[in-house]
Chain A
Amino acid sequence: MLRSAMARQVHLTETEDARHRMPRGLRYAVFGVVAGLLLGAVYLISVRGQALLLELSGLAQRLFCL
C-alpha cells in the first residue's frame, strides 16, 4: 500500500515536472531563432562595429566623463 502511494507520488511529481518543461519542438524553435539573431548580430558587428562604437563613445563621454 505504502509502495503504491509512493509510486503515485513519483508519477505525480514526474507529470508536474513534464508540465513545467517547454515542449521539445518549441524549445528547438526558440533556440533556432535566438541562435539566428545572435549570428546575425555578430555578423553586423563585424561589418559595422566601428561606426557603432564611434557613436557610442561620443555619447558616453558626453554623459559621464565631462
Chain B
Amino acid sequence: MQKQVTSAPASVRPLWLVVLAAGVIVGVAMGLRQVMGLYLPPMTRDLGIGREPFSTSMAIANLIWGIGAVAAGMVADRYGAGRVVVGGILATVAGMYWMYAAQTPFDLIVSGVLLGIGVSGTGITALVGAAGRAAPPEKRTAAIASLGMASGIGSFIAFPYTHLLMDVVGWQNSLLIIAATIALLLPLAWPLSGSPASSGLIDRQTLGQAVKEAFTHPSYLLLMTGFFVCGFHVAFYGVHLPAFVADQGLDASVGVAALTMVGLGNLLGTYVAGQSGRFIEKRRGLSLIYFGRCFVFLGLLFLPITATTVIALSAVLGLLWLSTVPLTSSLVATFFGTRWMSMLFGVVFLSHQLGSFTGLWLAGVLYDATRSYDMMWWISIALGLFAAAVHWPIQERPVPRLAGVNAA
C-alpha cells in the first residue's frame, strides 16, 4: 500500500520554479566547493598548522561527497529533494562555522566531513532527479542542462568573488558571510519538497530492485565507464594546465585566460548539449564530445604552443567540458525512468570522481617521472577514443519494465 503524500509532488509545481530553485542551490553549492582551496594559505599560516590537515580535510570532503551523493540521491528519490537540500544547507553552514572557529587539525577534519555532507545534499547529483521528474521527457535534458549551466556559473564566479571578499573582510569573516549567504537558500527547498510523483509499476520498484536492474543493464555499465573518462579529463586539465603553461615558458596570465575560456565555453557547451536532444541521440552526442576532446589533446601535442593556441584549444575544450552531464543523467532517466534517478546518477557520478582522482594522481606521478605532460596527453587521447567507442553501442531506450508500463 502506498503512503499518502502529505505535500504536493514536485511535478505539480511549474517546471521553471523547480529548475530556478535547484539551479540557484546547485550554483552556490558547486561554487562553494571550488573556493575552499583559497583558504589553505591563510588558515595554515594563522592557525600555525601544517598543510596536511587542511589537505586531508578537503580530500575527506570530496570522498564524502562521492559516497554521500548516492545516499542523498536515495533519500531525494524516496522522500523528495527538499529534505536533502535542508540537510545539506544546515551541514554546510555548520561546516563553515566549524572552519571559522577552527583551532586544531581535528576541527578541520570535522569541518571537511560536514562540508562533504553539505555538498552531497545541495550539489547537482542530489537535484538532478528533482529537475528530471518535474520536466516532461522532451524537456528533461534541457532542464538538467540548466542545472549544469548553473553549476558552471557558480564555479566560474565563486573564485574571483571569494578572493575579493577574503581581501576585503579577512578569511574568517568571509567564512561567516558565506555561511549566512548559504543559510538564505533554505526557502528554496520548498519548491523541491514533496515525495516524487509516481504511479503504477514504476513506483513499486524497490531500491534493491533498482540497483540490481541497473547493474545488470549493459548500457548503464557502459555509461558509467565513459563517465570515468570525463572525470579523468576535466580534473587533469583543470588542475595541471597552469603548470603545463609555465613549462612552455608562457606567462601565468595565459593559464588564467585559458581556464577562464574553459569556464565560459562550458556554459555554451552545456546549453547546446541540453538542446541537442532535438537533433541527435544522446549516446551519439556523448561519443562526439569525447571524440572532440581527442583533437584538443592532439593540438596540445602537435601545434606550436603559444598563448593563442592554448587559449583557443581551451575554449574548444570548454565547449566539451561538462556538456556530458545533462546527456549522461538524461540517459539514466531514459533507461530506468525518474523513480531512482538521483541515486542511479549518484552511482555514475562516483565513477566520475574515481576518474578525477586517477587523472590527478597519474598526472603527478608521470610528470615526476618524465618531467613532461606528453604521456598524459597520449593517455587522455586513448581514453577519449575509448569513451567515444563505449558510448556508441548504448541502447537508448527504456528497460522492458518501463516499456511494458508505457504500452499498457
- Residues of chain A touching chain B, judged by Cβ–Cβ distance below 8 Å, are 19-22, 30, 34, 37-38, 40-42, 44-45, 48-66
Contact = CB atoms under 8 A, between A and B. Distances in A.
B398 interface: no
A66 B243 contact: no
Given A57-B242, A58-B40, A64-B361, A38 B16 contact: no
B363 interface: yes
A64 B253 CA distance: 22
A55 B40 contact: yes
A22 B364 contact: no
Contact of B161 (A19, A44, A59): A44
Contacts of A56: 37-38, 159, 242
B51 A20 contact: no
Given A40-B157, A41-B161, A19 B14 contact: yes
Interface residues of B, number: 39
B59 interface: yes
B156 A41 contact: yes
Pairs A-B, 10 closest by C-beta atoms:
A44-B160, A65-B364, A49-B256, A22-B16, A20-B15, A64-B360, A41-B157, A59-B37, A60-B239, A57-B242
B55 interface: yes
12 contacts: A20-B15, A21-B15, A40-B161, A42-B264, A44-B164, A50-B256, A52-B38, A52-B256, A55-B38, A57-B243, A63-B55, A63-B59
Contacts of B255: 53
Given A30-B20, A63-B59, A64-B360, A38 B157 contact: yes
Contacts of B15: 20-21
Given A44-B163, A58-B41, A64-B364, A50 B157 contact: no
